[in-house]
Homo-oligomer: A and B are copies of this chain.
Amino acid sequence: MKMSKMFVQTLREFPADAEVISHKLLVRAGFIKKLSSGIYNYLPLMWRVLKKIENIIREEMDAAGAQELSMPFVQPQELWEESGRWEIYGKELMRMKDRHDRGMCLGPTHEEIITAIARDGLKSYKQLPVNLYQIQLKFRDEIRPRFGLLRGREFIMKDAYSFHAKQECLDKEYENMAQAYTKIFDRCGLATKVVQSDSGAIGGNVSHEYMVVIDTDAGENDVFFCEKCDYAANSERATSKLAEAQTDGAQVSSFSKAEIIDTPNTKSIEELSEFLKVPSAVILKTLVYIADKKSVLVLIRGDKAVEETKLKNALNVKELRIAVAAEIEELMVQKGFNADKGFIGPVGMQGVWMVADESVKDLKNFVVGCNQKDKHLVGANFGGNLTVGVKEFDKFVDVRLVEKGEFCPQCGEPLNVCQGIEVGNIFQLGTKYSKPMKAVFTDVDGKEKPYIMGCYGIGVTRTAQAAVEKFHDENGIIWPTSIAPYHVIIVPVNIQDELQMKTATEIYEKLIAQGIEAVLDDRDDRLGSKLKDADLIGFPYKIIIGKDSKVLEIKNRKTNETIYKKTELVVQYIKEQLNSQL
């Protein structure tokens, strides 16, 4: 491709509406162009990157025994009603009516469709297992699309679905996919961390995410990981041992006697801790949430925070949010108390849904709100002066946001934290879709059973942007060679110079003849400006052709090294370099 013919325009400035560096770079270097909020055109350079990622995925999925098909983007309401998701999927599901007034939606994911395909085709255990995948558009009507392709509305995804007669068979395929995923991301030049994750709207129990660890703050959530063992989980799923439990020490306050004392104007844990001169870790914090329209009191240690996804899962509810002041007040009135927000607690509380995080389990003689204005109970203990009387309280739950320095739940070493961009995920769906959709096969015992299913996603557009977030410098993108839009750019210093252009053209044609993806920068522009564009776009190699046509300068974008090669050895050198990287 000649640069003068290439449909690309690099911008002088970063776009005003981009927040993260990868988004800024992709726009400025002419890879993507916004059409509408969260909807992007993939310009020719980007499309080459995406095709390369797709091809790597396709090769590895095929090698792993999966079969490619393609399912529609526009889907009928009926199928989504069968799975029950038409009801529960929120506004992210883009719904519409066709000209005959039939309900349709744009696929945010394809479990319903693939399950409907399978139930017509897979009637016997003999046909199982099967793993089917596609590389397709998806649409999710995000409330606040951001970060370019990282949280877009329309995006490209590889989604695979496997069908099994037995759980052990799913376990095996899950492992098979896990290995394929590691290969895929490795080939894309992206080392990934495999972390335990929450299954979210997709459903199922076991799930893992593939995260590209980044140094910038474009990650969507924190990943907690153990430096010693293989434990890693995103914050929505992470768990830990607390320091105290670790050392078998209970968290004991200095209040040895239970009594209600005045604590005027102590509306926050900080104020209370300061007023009483006790650490916040001996205070039991009580938060009020509204879960599926019901109030729920959540007890947690004063120095810890609630992780709402974990809480939502623990409560097994569809909607969850913190209560507003008026709702708390109403609850107090109902229960016959008159305390404000800072003074509520489990003391004397009857007939209210209440859960306690494990962090409060080892508290002794602690401080807790007693539902009286400007007063707290100190020296409190479970089983003693706390009246709870609700079943949920008996079993402690884990709803705590893990913090760096807490201890690995597997091996007890301190946990570390990093930011990650999720590029893939694998789920064990079990019978979540096959059961309601009556997608059954006849098993070896002659009985009809729902398939046991797994699903496996890779964000194709996301992977491309994650690579940019991971690999860039102040001059632009540094594409991993395997997914770079082109391998080499040839830059003659002066295109008016016949000899330079002749040498450049010869090198260009020889590279192309060798199957190397080369670009010839034949624009009549200053060298500096051409090199700037080359660095911004991120060609792995630049060949610069100046007055000396016998020896050429080769620059490596990644290492920033410059070497000089005899002209006749340049093609061979580039070829060897690429072979070692592809």
- Minimum-distance CB pairs A-B, first 8: A96-B96, A36-B76, A42-B70, A91-B99, A44-B67, A39-B72, A9-B121, A99-B141
* Minimal beta-carbon separation of A402 from chain B (angstroms): 32
Say what secondary structure dominates the interface of chain A.
mixed
Q: Is the CB of A106 within 8 A of B74?
A: yes
- Closest B residue by C-beta to A68: B47
Q: Select the residue from A9, A74, A153 with max chain B CB neighbours within 10 A.
A: A74
Q: Are B41 and A98 in contact (CB under 8 A)?
A: no
A139 CB-CB contact with B under 8 Å: yes
Q: How far is the CA of A379 from the CA of B237 in the complex (A)?
A: 93
Contacts A33-B117, A67-B44; is A130 near B72 (CB within 8 Å)? no
A43 vs B117: C-alpha distance in the bound complex, in angstroms?
9
Residues from chain B with a CB closer than 8 A to the CB of A44 are: 67-69, 132
State whether B47 touches A69 (Cβ < 8 A): yes
Asked if B113 and A35 make an inter-chain contact with CB atoms under 8 angstroms apart, the answer reads yes
> Per a CB cutoff under 8 Å, which of B47, B121, B132 touches A70?
B47
A40 at the interface (CB under 8 A from B): yes
Give the chain B neighbours of A106 by CB distance below 8 A. 74
Least distance between A551 CB and chain B CB atoms (Å) = 33
Taking the complex as formed, is A449 at the interface, i.e. its CB lies under 8 A from any CB of chain B? no
**Contact A42 B67, CB 8 Å, known A7-B132, A75-B36, A154-B74:** no
Residue of B nearest to A524 (CB): B126
Q: List 14 A-B contacts (CB under 8 A).
A: A5-B130, A6-B67, A9-B120, A33-B120, A35-B75, A36-B75, A41-B72, A42-B69, A43-B117, A44-B69, A44-B132, A73-B73, A74-B106, A99-B141
Contact residue among B33, B67, B116 (Cβ-Cβ distance under 8 Å from A7): B67
- How far is the CB of A495 from the nearest CB of chain B, in Å? 14
CB distance from A441 to the nearest CB of B (A): 13
Chain B residues within an 8 Å CB radius of A139: 73-74
Which of A44, A95, A102 gathers the greatest number of chain B CB atoms within 10 Å? A44
Q: Is the CB of B94 within 8 A of A94?
A: no
Most B CB within 10 A of own CB, among A41, A91, A95, A113? A41
Q: Say yes or no: is A386 at the interface (Cβ < 8 Å to chain B).
A: no
Interface contacts beyond A35-B76, A42-B69: sample of 6 additional A-B pairs, CB < 8 Å, sorted by A: A7-B121, A33-B120, A35-B71, A39-B72, A41-B72, A73-B154
Q: Which residues on the B side are within 8 Å of A7 (C-beta)?
A: 67, 69, 121, 130, 132
Q: Which residues 85-130 of A sit at the B interface, judged by CB distance below 8 A? A: 91, 94-96, 98-99, 102, 104, 106, 113, 116-117, 120-121, 130
**Is A43 a contact of B69 with CB atoms below 8 Å?**
yes
Q: Mark A133-160, 1 if CB is under 8 A from B, else 0.
A: 0000101010100000000011000000
Contacts of A50 in B (CB 8 A): 70
- B residues within 8 A CB of A154? 72-74
Interface centre among A44, A69, A79, A116 (most CB of B within 10 A): A69
Q: Report the Cα distance A71→B35, complex, angstroms.
A: 9
The answer to whether A99 and B68 have CB atoms under 8 Å apart is no
CB-based nearest B residue for A156: B70
Residues 49 to 95 of chain A near chain B (Cβ within 8 Å): 50, 65, 67-76, 79, 91, 94-95
Once bound together, how far apart are the Cα atoms of A538 and B483, in whole Å?
36
**Distance of A67 Cα from B42 Cα, bound (Å):** 12
Closest approach, in angstroms, between the C-beta of A232 and any C-beta of chain B? Answer: 34
Closest partner residue, chain B, to A113 (CB atom): B35
Q: How many angstroms between the C-alpha atoms of A116 and B75 in the bound complex? A: 29
Return chain B residues, CB-CB under 8 Å to A46.
Answer: 69
Most-contacted residue by chain B among A79, A116, A141 (CB, 10 A): A141
